Amino acid sequence: MPLDATFAQLPDQTVEVTLNGTMTLGSSLKMLESQIRSAINEGARHVVLNMESLTYMDSAGLGFLVLINAELASQAGSLTLSKVNQRIRDLLALTRTDAILKLDA
CB 46 within 8 A of CB 76: no
Residue-level pLDDT at 2: 86
Backbone angles phi, psi at 43, to 5 degrees: 115, -5
Average pLDDT over residues 11-28: 96
Average pLDDT over residues 14-24: 97
How far apart are the C-alpha atoms of 53 and 70, rounded to whole Å?
24
Query: Per residue in 45-71, is it b (16+ CB within 10 Å) or e — as a string?
Result: ebbbbbbeebeebeeebbebbeebbeb
What's the topology of domain 4-103? Transcription Regulator spoIIAA (3.30.750)
Domain spans, the chain: 4-103
Q: pTM (2 decimals)?
A: 0.94
